[in-house]
A and B are shown apart, each in its own frame.
Chain A
């Protein structure tokens, strides 16, 4: 503390804030968090409404959860969502892993920046544009594979989400480990198999989790690209909202929400762990 700070703290009587601190920040942060979480809390709260209408609270009940579980359309939608998410995640993560390995470890080559830009392109184009562009494309070439169309679109926009954590992890990993392995008589393939892949694993897992959540939550692209019979859960929820607001929507939404939060939390721990691991 400087002399001046001491003086002003004496004058102000109350303990002076340290430099860089401002009054009211904590309160602001509190209300910010309330703003962020209140809608989610309201959503969950009303899922336990016994009334037919979401908004009229008449009493506590879990019947809408039971109804949602027994709704065959919802079951189908969940299946579709899971199939799409699993396939898209698997393919996108594989593509992204190979791409990241080449872009981070392949040295400098012509077209590297362009390749990086291409990998990240789906992140930059607004979703609605992607959605209609892919819709036009499938219509033009006459591709009509139902859920297959949706999966193709999902793979495309999941690639950057899988790519980012994998590349970040690779850039944080210096090549000395691989050199050490080569020094200890490992072949190129053994080095990849025993050193690169295990050390990259947290990044791959993180990338896969992100793609999974992104695919699971996607609504607009699926809405435009998917035809009848390829309704995913978010698309089904949208049609429920259009039909009328029943607490069943809240119940399904709550479940989807909790599922996403669980995955993101797992991701959080994976990436935290991998961060502490690289420190030596």
Chain B
């Protein structure tokens, strides 16, 4: 395993300790980020992402645990002594300085020679395609341009780690998608470790090498985008990332790698055995809508086929989301593409076939 660039060991953070309302923002969080990795912290608002980032940057002190930067404990270091730079949530560009002055600020503080400052600023600005606006003030830039300047400013001192706190959240959808690719490419080119904070799951899946899903100050799961999406460890992760069907039930039989569960009063579903389960366990089964195939007549190529009745349709343009009533109080969400003439394949109250493979249905521990 390559050397970890950041090691977070059992870190807790309590705001306003000893006051009337202490806030436990992080609870014994541990994670290890490899060098050159694009690592994303993903989670709903208020789960402690920014807090973790600020602890790494040095704007806050840990309440417990320790943080190592390339194997070195950093608690005693000022933010200005850490070779870590931050792209702030709302950029925090210095309003009284030009774009070039902003980008050169860190280099000057590091007492780099004048000509080196000038050339690095130039290089950074062309890297983010902002060289033509070097003399502007931040207030004269668009949101996307400010974003690029913030990026150039943080990259200019060539930090070993770049911390980015929802850098794309203030941009509109199109720009966000462009910047996503640019950021990813930048990371690949510079080889700097990126710690990226977002609450946008698409962003996380599209850019990251690994993702840590957080909730209420805890880490729920760490893994590659496919691991997180395909093998969520619990219902929170499965629910937070992508759409899911959840079926609550009880295991009635286990055979090799197939688990048989009773859902509702009499329905029986078979699912892939994902771990240590025993007969009688209360479990939640989980099935991604796109793993379900909807057909008029039974599709023999799937492992499981059932029948249901369309109870609701939401038209989304490139596809339609169907809610299918399976009887016994169970309903499943699934997707289908419109036909070539643009019409939808099924209508409300149609009796249709629902198919999925055994491996698509998984057991989540309670």
Query: A residues touching B (Cβ–Cβ < 8 Å)?
Result: 176-177, 179-187, 190, 194-195, 198-199, 201, 276-280
Contacts and interface: CB of A to CB of B under 8 A. Distances in A.
Nearest to B91: A280
Greatest chain B CB density within 10 A among A179, A181, A183, A276 is at: A183
B86 interface: yes
A177 B59 CA distance: 12
Given A199-B95, A278-B95, A280-B138, A185 B90 contact: no
Given A179-B59, A279-B139, A280-B139, A185 B109 contact: yes
B96 A185 contact: no
Q: Top 7 A-B pairs ranked by shortest CB distance?
A: A184-B106, A185-B109, A180-B92, A176-B92, A182-B79, A186-B109, A185-B80
A279 B80 CA distance: 27
Contacts of B93: 180, 280
A269 B13 CA distance: 45
Interface string B57-91: 11100000000000000000011110011101011
A13 B316 CA distance: 49
Contacts of B88: 176, 179-180
B139 A184 contact: no
Contacts of A199: 94-96
Interface of B: 57-59, 78-81, 84-86, 88, 90-96, 105-106, 109-110, 138-139, 146, 153-154, 157
Contact of A182 (B78, B94, B138, B153): B78
A278 B138 CA distance: 10
Contacts of B92: 176-177, 179-180
9 contacts: A177-B92, A179-B57, A181-B109, A182-B58, A183-B85, A277-B139, A278-B95, A280-B91, A280-B138
Chain B facing A: main interface SS:
mixed
Given A183-B86, A184-B106, A186-B109, A280 B146 contact: yes
Given A180-B94, A183-B85, A280-B146, 6 more contacts: A180-B93, A183-B57, A184-B105, A185-B106, A278-B95, A280-B139
A208 B157 CA distance: 38
Contacts of B95: 177, 199, 277-278, 280
Contacts of B138: 280
Contacts, number: 76
Contacts of A180: 86, 88, 92-94
Nearest to B103: A184
Greatest chain A CB density within 10 A among B57, B88, B92, B153 is at: B92
A164 B134 CA distance: 35
Contacts of B59: 179, 182-183
Given A195-B94, A279-B139, A184 B146 contact: no
Nearest to B96: A198
A183 B94 contact: no
B348 to A, nearest CB: 37
A180 B105 CA distance: 10
A180 B97 CA distance: 13
Nearest to A201: B96
B157 A185 contact: yes
A185 B85 CA distance: 9
B85 A190 contact: no
Nearest to B111: A185
B86 A185 contact: no
Contacts of A186: 80, 105-106, 109
Contact of A280 (B78, B90, B105, B153): B90
Contacts of A179: 57, 59, 79, 86, 88, 92
B140 to A, nearest CB: 10
Nearest to B59: A179
A194 B109 CA distance: 10
Contacts of A181: 94, 105, 109
Contacts of B146: 280
B268 to A, nearest CB: 57
A176 B95 CA distance: 12
